[in-house]
Amino acid sequence: MVEKTGYVLLDEQDELKSFREAFYTGGPSIYLDGNSLGLLSKRAEQSLLESLQDWREHGIDGWTEGTHPWFTMSEQLGERLASLIGAKKEEVIVTGSTTVNLHQLVATFFSPDEKRTKILADDLTFPSDIYALQSQLALRGLSPQQHLVQVKSRDGRLLAEEDLIAAMKDDVALILLPSVLYRSGQLLDMKRLTKEAHDRNIIIGFDLCHSIGAVPHELSEWDVDFAFWCNYKYLNGGPGSTAGLYVNERHTKRTPGLTGWFGSNKEKQFDMNHVFEGADTAGAFQIGTPHILSTAPLIGSLSLFEEAGMKRIREKSLQLTRYMMDEIERELKAFQFAIGNPLEDERRGGHVCLLHAEAARICKSLKEFGVIPDFRAPDVIRLAPIALYTSFTEVHEAIQILKKIMTDKHYEKFSNVREVIA
């Protein structure tokens, strides 16, 4: 266990400490909500300003000229993202939003027949994913109540992979699971689950929103069929940042379920034919014109990940969350807190799930003391120390502030009800 003064030594030994200077860290506050919205980096700001300058100086010619030509921006960023998820450059594209990309992928890969009519998911996944699955079933005239199978958690926090595998029945056509559960931070074994699905001839895809940028992946090696994610959490692409998707090269020549002109073969896109001729890469799964100003910050942000490397980022992330859990165990034992995430490194994503019956009001109190957490109903305080900009000293100070809040019962001044945005 790390000694109380160990955070000073940990910061001194931190190989990634210099990256903190690349971010606007919010002055005196301790930001532990990077799993909801990552902080702005100076490089992301610069690449956005450069795209604005391209617009100012080139007008319509910004599509092909300037610092960051817009016409190929999505493909170039997809190539750079590929290394973060263990994919080939042709398998990744930056496009759309998380839920739009999910609709695209389900519309493409869900092909019910007389035998297989069901979609398998879980009952802990992010609600937007379930809404999309329900609507895709309804569009095909299938009852979501009957054809969406949601594997239940045994304890309301974690998923048993054995239960997920047992639910892979002969009537399942498609599986969608989170890589990391958004409340508890549980990291699923995507390699194992993909093999089990493929052994049963079932298509499987993953929502990577809470793992990309915090956890290395090997999607191509694991033979995952598809994946999608947002880029505004650990990847620091900014609020509403354009999202991303992955399609295994086995499927990239498949006609997308939802076609649009930006999915065209780039050489033929401006032929303006009324017959869709798609790209033979993941680029085919684009729909409309890219949101350039919501994409440009990724240009700068990804350069930080390329320099730091996912191996070092994951190592520090695990160190930070381990140190945080040790501090919680040492300092908060008397205050009825429980750790809700898996303790094992290989089963934990990038955040700590702290459970308490008064979680909503404790989060409000933390914010008043300059610690920015995240609340998830009914009793979860999510604390995400981020490898590129959170120090061990900040983790130590945040837990000391939380201890003072509990000792002084400062949280009692607030109602135990979430704000409009938790």
Task: Answer whether 301's CB lies under 8 Å from 40's CB.
Answer: no
Question: Distance between CA atoms of 114 and 308, rounded to whole angstroms?
Answer: 50
Question: Distance between CA atoms of 274 and 268, rounded to whole angstroms?
Answer: 11
Phi/psi of residue 54, each to 5°? -60, -40
Only one residue has tokens 């590129």, namely: 388
Domain segments of the chain as ranges: 6-31+309-411, 47-306
pLDDT at site 54? 98
- In CATH terms, the fold of domain 6-31+309-411 is Aspartate Aminotransferase, domain 1 (3.90.1150)
The token pair at 225 is 């069929």
Q: What length does the chain have?
A: 422
* Bind-site residues for pyridoxal 5'-phosphate: 98-99, 126-129, 207, 210, 232, 261, 289
- In CATH terms, the fold of domain 47-306 is Aspartate Aminotransferase; domain 2 (3.40.640)
Asked if 6-31+309-411 and 47-306 have one fold, the answer is no
Task: Answer whether 325's CB lies under 8 Å from 352's CB.
Answer: yes
The token pair at 277 is 């001729």
Q: Are strands 338-339 and 352-355 parallel, antiparallel or unpaired?
A: antiparallel
* Bind-site residues: 98-99, 126-129, 207, 210, 232, 261, 289
pLDDT at site 394? 98
Cα dihedral value 271, 274, 280, 282, nearest 10: 100
Only one residue has tokens 């910004």, namely: 62
Question: Distance between CA atoms of 276 and 158, rounded to whole angstroms?
Answer: 43
pTM: 0.96
pLDDT at site 421? 78
pLDDT at site 376? 96
The low-confidence residues of the chain, meaning pLDDT below 50, are 1-2, 4
